Structure 1
């Protein structure tokens, strides 16, 4: 009888220990434009402090490449796109549960801190090279192509093989910082805290399509209640005043 009583006590203690651990953790997988890395790193810490049972894993890259991964079946819960085109392509395929535009940005020409180029015209007069995102896969590269075409210099740069194409804006920054490219075109937010590059000029927004960032909660075949609630929580958080303040500090502007 004594052994039986001890056994019951052990079971009660074990049950109590399990209940103290709280609910199981929910995993959110988010594919996000590389230009959002710094902001999302800061925001994730804030979000997970508010929602300790939700853990976020990010996949960063060019929005076009990320969209193609989703189309091919990559298990993604939320898509943060730097391009309305990539967002709309998924929406047209009924892959988006809900979504909206949340941020805007500007396009800038940058050079290494010690670089000599004073303007785009100055660059065009020489034989240096420019790094941009691959237009078909990187929205910043697509916007750059539009702006350079409007300025009537795109064909000249292509004919003279003066363009270096990259997988995302982060690689553009790296090439410029390391001196492997004399100039590059990125978003204003990308150089917000960069000390090794200098903005040469900001492109007029009339030269390219509107730069808008979208958030999309994606459809899933099996809707798990915990995941759906986590998606809703993150989508609400990303549009909060606290999140907008972080984005603005990093060079973005919230959509009105």
Structure 2
């Protein structure tokens, strides 16, 4: 006959067995509602992406789509000039993925993994709506009465500008040098300058506020955009899943619609 004490020992032993069995079934944890929670290495966990400023609109869209395709995932972006982002990463800023507007800045990141070029971009001249100054090409930007904003040489849009102006044989004296392409474009939108050299994608995103003037020398200054999962990624699985999504048919569709070109 079972005594009270022996019954207690039997129940306790069964509880231990059940706990051990559940632990052996995998590393998933559950929240108070019993839903499996993604671990830090899961594609469903938080993903931090450092991306060139010119990717702001398209990557914001891709981030929302990625979260829908990967329930439980959250994507956090840090947009800025590629050179500044590379410096932040090298100084220890936490990031899982880096998407640069030029290979040079990707190469500067000591912890970059194997990069993949996913799109290309091209410069245009951004002017006020209706092109009040009648700008038709780079030569017009050399006029002394025209106020022009350019990107600093250290950032990809600045390096591309230098290549294009050298090809055209012109020297532009800007009234301001900006640290990313969005800042240069903002000067035109605010009416602080008459023109700026920006990426075609940024001009397209702001088509309601500015006009874009194409110029032939931009073909000599195409920028390749590489993307990579960082070796120091806190969530390498999530980072790789995001990169894969950017490279997928869905990701490519968003990027091409934004004005980027296939590599």
Q: Which TM-score band (shorter chain)?
A: 0.7 to 0.9
CA contact (8 A) 1:35 1:170 kept: yes
How many equivalent pairs are there?
231
State the SS of the aligned residue for 1:79: strand
Aligned to 2:212: 199
Q: Counterpart of 2:100?
A: 81
Residue 118, structure 1, aligned to residue 135, structure 2: yes
Q: 1:123, 1:175 → 2: CA distance?
A: 15
Matches within 5 A, 1:28-39: 28-39=47-58
Please tell me whether Structure 1 or Structure 2 has the larger radius of gyration of its CA atoms.
2
**Alpha-carbon distance in 1 for matches of 2:113, 2:170:** 41
Change (3 A) 1:203 1:140: farther
Does 1:237 find its partner at 2:253? no
CA distance in 2, matches of 1:81, 1:242: 20
- 2:260 matched to which residue of 1? 252
Q: Structure 2: how far apart are the matches of 1:19 and 1:32?
A: 36
Q: 155, 158, 163: which one pairs with 1:141?
A: 158
Structure 1 CA distance for aligned equivalents of residues 216 and 175 of structure 2: 18
The two structures have a TM-score, normalised by structure 1, of 0.82
The 8 Å contact of residues 165 and 217 in structure 2, kept in 1 or not, is answered as: no
Q: What is the alpha-carbon distance in structure 2 between the residues aligned to residue 47 and residue 206 of structure 1?
A: 32
Shift of 1:18: 2.5
1:103 and 2:119 matched: yes
Structure 2 residues without counterparts, runs of 5 or longer: 1-14, 16-28, 39-43
2:176 pairs with 1:164: yes
CA distance in 2, matches of 1:98, 1:118: 42
Secondary structure of 2:35's counterpart equals coil
Matched with 2:83 is 64
**What residue in structure 2 maps to residue 219 of structure 1?**
231
Displacement of 1:202 after TM fit?
A: 3.0
Deviations 1:79-135 (A, max 9, x none): 000011111222xx3x12222100011111110103223223333234212111111
Q: How big is the alpha-carbon RMSD for the aligned residues of Structure 1 and Structure 2?
A: 2.4
Q: Report the CA distance between 1:17 and its aligned residue.
A: 6.7
Question: Larger deviation: 31-40 or 139-148?
Answer: 139-148
Gaps of 5+ in 1: 1-7, 9-14
